[in-house]
A and B are shown apart, each in its own frame.
Chain A
Amino acid sequence: MIKKILFSLVLILLFKQQVFAITTIDITRGNLDPLPIAISPLYMSEGSENIKLDNSVNQKNVGEKISEIVEINLKRSGLFNPLNKSAFVQKPDIAHLKPRFEDWRLIKAQVLVTGKILIKEGKLRVEFRLWDVVAAKEILALAFTTVPNNWRRVAHIISDKIYMRLTGESGYFDTRIIYVSESGPKTQRIKKLAIMDQDGANTKYLTLGNELVLTPRFSPTAQLVTYLSYFRNLPRVYLLDIETGIQEVVGDFPGMTFAPRFSPDGKKIIMSFAQNGNSDIYTMDIETRVVEKLTDHPSIDTSPSYSPDGKYICFNSDRSGLQQIYIMRSDGSKVKRISFGKGLYGTPVWSPRGDLIAFTKVSKGRFYIGVMRTDGTGERLLTENFYQEAPSWAPNGRVLIFYRETKSDSEGKGFTAKLWSIDLTGYNEREISTKTDASDPSWSSLLSGN
């Protein structure tokens, strides 16, 4: 009985749907070109004070400079196509009040950025609006006040907000990169810790180059850096507070400590400790200095990296005979190999989203940067080269930064080491220009939060 009723109900429903069915069209294709965006220069409000920010930047052009940085950021992301400003018809100040959307549509802009700047009482106030040109409406408006010297950061924060509004994902522009600056001949390379903005500006050196330094990594808050230093010819893991400049050794064991990284809560450092030809993985609590041994195997266990929830660790081991990627629980239990492709696998790094592990692969004498799921499936190689390694994730998990070295002759000629970035999609590979040769990049979290 009930069945019958149900059946007739279903029939009625089906019938009804047919009667009222209207034309439905499935759109499954579109163009994959970067989104055309018009970035109108930020205009200077009347009554702004005179100020000199930089050799070439003052109150007259700081608005233009900010919009330029936003433009470069968005363009470099590969997702946006900032339009040529010479085609802009409307004046920046009028556009900021109420854009004539028809004009902007004419030059094929789909979104528009406008803004204004006010410098008063020594403060820089920046206001910007994001407009959907086609829907003819404002979709975002924000204002920031800061010290004028911070104008670059304001540009990066604006870029992040636009990126977030238009992609649905947090950005990565208001970030820094710590890396190793390199100079000198290959056999006696001088290496210094250096830090810069994500776009290569504001380079600062944190060490003098008297001793070899390697593999710096940011803490989750980007306040601390852990790295390997050969100070007094003792390769040890160090901790550097970039606020205070204070350095201290954290891995002072009777042997070499190396390959450090922070735990996601920032409380521990995980690293390798090598003694008598055997490298194992340890953690050290920064506060209590309690040391815990996680792996105990006669093979080389190194390059550990935590999952973002802190529950798992991926690492590099040659216990199978060759370098492969393994994962284990954060207490060292349940070790499981996850890389099974042809070749060697190294430098696993867990993505901030938690779903992927980036790695370096060496196969037939070529080096690849790739990603795989945390169970080892879905391996995708993003880029191939003569030598490249050490990927580090952008905080939103969409972009990887790594370093690449070139071939050299016996005099070391032709050798360069440079930072490169690539999208998770394998597209948008770009060199990140640094003042010197560079290696071992580590990407900070977003400095301004979300």
Chain B
Amino acid sequence: MSAQLIRNLLLVILATLALSACSTTKKSNNLLQGDVYTGTETIEYLATGVPDRVFFATNKSVLTTAARDTLRKQAAWMRKNKDISVTLEGHADERGTREYNLALGERRANAAKDYLMTYGISGNRINVISYGKERPVNSGSTPLAWSQNRRAVTVKAN
């Protein structure tokens, strides 16, 4: 009986592994936490070590620990380069209604802007625009693609 149990246990573990291999692509292993993207694939850099974007959970505009970390780096970079102003672009994935997504993108961009401001960046240097679901970075219709599209991107404006 116990031998069978152990055999079954192994079987189930194997099955689970097989399942998880099915549901996500090779690349996405460990790239999602909750449903927030934690990888680096789509990220560009404003300067060495200063990632340009932060990612969000579905329907949320709360900054994750990683996002706050990124934004602090951006704030430091902006403090160093006082003549630079930026545009914060808020985006949503394709899984929402268009109008709500526009509002959601605006909320995400402002969440990032507010955080930058608490680190001493003047609001005058930050312009905000929402693209809703209009400008995805990944065209795919997968949870990974959607997680990469739920983002606020800091773009140099001058």
Contacts and interface: CB of A to CB of B under 8 A. Distances in A.
A279 B137 CA distance: 25
B141 A407 contact: yes
A259 B110 contact: no
Contact of A235 (B104, B129, B136, B142): B129
A347 interface: yes
Contacts of B141: 386, 407-409, 414-415
Interface stretch (A22-30, A97-105, A184-192): A184-192
A322 to B, nearest CB: 7
B114 A277 contact: yes
A360 interface: yes
Contact of A214 (B107, B134, B136): B134
Interface residues of A, number: 49
A412 B139 contact: yes
Contact of B97 (A233, A255, A303): A303
Contacts of B145: 410
A277 B107 contact: yes
Nearest to A411: B139
Given A189-B134, A256-B129, A346-B100, A408 B95 contact: no
Contact of B98 (A189, A214, A408): A214
Interface string B70-101: 00000000000000000000000011111110
Interface in A272-287: 272, 274, 276-279
Given A279-B103, A410-B145, A360 B139 contact: no
Contacts of B129: 233, 235, 256
Contacts of B110: 276-277
Given A256-B102, A277-B106, A408-B141, A389 B130 contact: no
B107 A300 contact: yes
A408 B103 contact: no
B136 A323 contact: no
A302 B99 contact: yes
Given A256-B130, A322-B59, A187 B136 contact: yes
Contacts of B114: 277
Contact of A389 (B97, B111, B136, B142): B97
B140 A408 contact: yes
Given A256-B130, A277-B110, A277-B114, A408 B139 contact: yes
A410 B102 contact: no
B23 interface: no
A227 B105 CA distance: 18
Interface in B14-73: 59, 61
Nearest to A191: B134
Nearest to B61: A277
A347 B61 CA distance: 21
A189 B95 CA distance: 17
Contact of B100 (A186, A316, A411): A316
B138 interface: yes
Contact of B99 (A276, A346, A362, A411): A346
Contacts of A197: none
Interface in A303-356: 303, 316, 318, 322-323, 344, 346-347
A212 interface: yes
Nearest to B142: A410
A259 B99 contact: yes
A410 B97 contact: no
B125 interface: no
Given A187-B136, A256-B130, A279 B98 contact: no
A235 B130 contact: yes
Given A276-B110, A362-B96, A410-B145, A187 B139 contact: yes
A94 to B, nearest CB: 55
A440 interface: yes
Contact of B96 (A188, A259, A346): A346
A387 B94 contact: yes
Interface in A383-434: 386-387, 389-390, 405, 407-412, 414-415
A346 B139 CA distance: 23
B142 to A, nearest CB: 8
B99 A347 contact: yes
Given A302-B99, A390-B98, A440-B98, A274 B139 contact: no
A416 B94 CA distance: 13
A215 interface: yes
Contact of A187 (B104, B109, B137): B137
A172 interface: no
Interface string A241-262: 0000000000000011011000
B97 A415 contact: no
A237 to B, nearest CB: 12
Contacts of B139: 185-187, 408-412, 415
Contacts of B107: 274, 277-279, 300
Given A300-B103, A389-B97, A409-B141, 10 more contacts: A185-B139, A228-B102, A235-B129, A256-B102, A272-B99, A277-B106, A346-B99, A362-B96, A410-B138, A414-B141
Interface of B: 59, 61, 94-100, 102-104, 106-107, 109-111, 114, 129-131, 134-142, 145
Counting from the closest, the 5 A-B pairs by CB-CB distance are: A277-B110, A412-B139, A346-B97, A410-B140, A407-B141
13 contacts: A235-B130, A256-B129, A272-B99, A277-B106, A277-B107, A302-B100, A303-B99, A318-B100, A347-B99, A387-B95, A390-B97, A412-B140, A414-B141
